[in-house]
Structure 1
Amino acid sequence: MTRRVLTPRNRGFLFLDSHPEGCRRVVADMWQACPAPADTSDGGASEGAGSVALVIGSSAGYGLAATLAGLKRAGIRGIAVSFEKAPTERRTATAGWYRTAATADIARTAGRDLVFLNGDAFSDTMKEQVADLVERRFGGRLDYLVYSVAAPRRTDPGTGTTYASVLKPIGRANRTRTLLFDDQGVPEVREVETGPAEGDDVEQTVAVMGGADWERWIDHLAARDLLADGFTTVALSYIGSPLTAAIYRQGTIGAAKAHLEATARTLDERLGKTVGGRAVTSVNGAAVTQSSTAIPGIALYTGLLRGVLGDGLVPPIRQLAALWDQLTGTAPLTTDDEGRIRLDTFELTDDVQAAVAERWEAATTDTIADLADVDWFRAEVRRLYGFSVPGTDYAAEVDTDVPWPDHTS
């Protein structure tokens, strides 16, 4: 057992350690914030009850929200896959490791059989492990697959080629402003320039973050005859504001998202013919996640958006509760002309975007505290790693050797 007093050590938005108790409370807060279903007649604890779901990328951001909302709102059981690092003598585990342990405790208390696997979701080894579990433990039929993967690189199991994703504009360099904090937590607005995509940057990013691996998962499960009648799959996506379009939707990552959405249309046609199923993408709203903080300009945009909307900024857990309602038929499954579920409408109305754009133009280091909710943003970044979580005693020693959830029982 390793007990330590943990204090936040960070380089920009990247923290070197994570706080187990803070991460546990973050998960508990998300669970409390998720609305309960209207019908709770089975109490959520019937042995063998509930649809079988697979969540890929379950330990952070929208994938974590999908897992928790699926448990509480839809009563799912099944498998959650993520890729996290264990604690060592020198370092804590990654935040996702601790969040997964907390999620497993919640699932157990709720009486839901949810297995948590740690490994490379891109690999065929993980796909085979999941398929074996579905067959052995969950009756050989999968009802839902939620795909929420953000990664810097991917090795294609078929070719052995490793691809690397980049965050770059396409065509020309992009100069934008972004929000940073100094060592004392004082906000600063700084201009950053990102050079344009070169060579095969677009193709590499699409190979990592596009729809290829999602489709490979469907291929693998279908080949094992594990897709239930009416099987539904959704990949989580983002469009965002015109203010960030050059680096995001019109950049390399946007090309990958476009490929993801095209893959959804292909899979939707195929699943409709084979199992009477569906494939869609869900376009979610802006949020502070470990992935989004790496994108130039997104921090400033999200802080300003919170300044405009306040509590009207819909958190991921509530968005994903609404998504599960659509997936399960509790609410009508409605899509736009591109076949996408839109959970970002609160963010992209003309009046909200006009207000954010006005603040964007006025934002400087001197004015940012009046225009953006910088205290909220900074606290949200720290909460990603279990810090600045109300109710957590950061002066107390905490056990960092939290085990990965056991699924053998």
Structure 2
Amino acid sequence: MIHKVVVAGVGMIPFTKPGASEPYHVMGEKATRQALADARVDFGAVHQAYIGYVYGDSTCGHRALYPVGMSGMPIVNVNNNCSTGSSALFLARQAVESGAADCVLALGFEQMAAGAIKAQFEDRPTPFEEFDRATAELVGHPELPLAIRYFGGAGKAHMDKYGTRLDTFAHIRAKASRHAANNPLALFRKEVSVEEVMNAPAVWPGVMTRLMACPPTCGAAAAVICSEAFAKKHGIDTRVWIRAQAMTTDFPSTFESHDMMRVVGFDMTRDAAEKVYKQAGIGPQDVNVVELHDCFAQNELITYEALGLCPEGGAEKFVLDGDNTYGGKVVTNPSGGLLSKGHPLGATGLAQCYELTHQLRGTAEQRQVPGARLALKHNLGLGGACVVTLYEAA
């Protein structure tokens, strides 16, 4: 029997710069307590917990939850790179949907260091060996940080293939800042213009400026999910539920296509999205609001096409026509996205869940997308995994 999965409660703390946050376990505890309070359930009612983080020692999830309660329930620590938060939610959803547990917590947090992401263990092979090899062949520029080479290289591939202009990515970043201005939990709330984005220091001349990249961020977010029967028994809000969800990992085309857009997950995203649309019996044109993985403005543009929000090669027109914001076809990243809200790796997928739950409840205040009923979430981690989730307002 497949059980309907309700998003009972969500919690999120304001995202901050590295060095300005509380310790990871304090952030995690606060987000958990918020989600429990929002769901109006006691910690003792939670049957399992899946806790996501990337930078931390083993069982950091336990350290964050023990101050909330020590019930003896199963706690699983999850690490799937930047898709960690949604991977935790994926496991939690499976547990509820299958009937293995009635009420489950998904929590994500990250206490990051300043500067570019780098390997933490340099005495063993990196999991990115094949990605680095493909990037070296297709992109070069060994002097640049790897993440910039990955996603800048993907953006350049789109520019070369379709004639996409650099200022189109600047339009995406400016849009993110306008949205974040209405989000009190976002790291950067100052609006920036297309001109300011273009005039920011170039991290890769002709390909990317500094403002086109998301910042390292600290933060935490959580969700309590449960079966519909459990929700009704305990008087829990059943307005938002997970209608469909899919996780994909890399295909041979990631490397065999010799295409940087595929290296950074285009095919994972497309396949996961197609599975979700098929499960739900809808198409991308039916979606009202999207939170997608805009770690770089370049990746947001590529993801429009991978999710089917516009045709392949049509992303520039989609952006310049304003179809990615309020008044257009679909509002993307009303939270400000990773570019403005911030990207604490383990928390990102659950912060997206927080935003979309409020959108579907109609409680997103100044960010509210009018009439939002179907919300799509996309969370990507290289190495690699992609999770696409469709939420629905009952």
What TM-score, normalized to structure 1?
0.28
Look at both structures and tell me which one has the larger radius of gyration over its CA atoms: 1
What TM-score, normalized to structure 2?
0.29
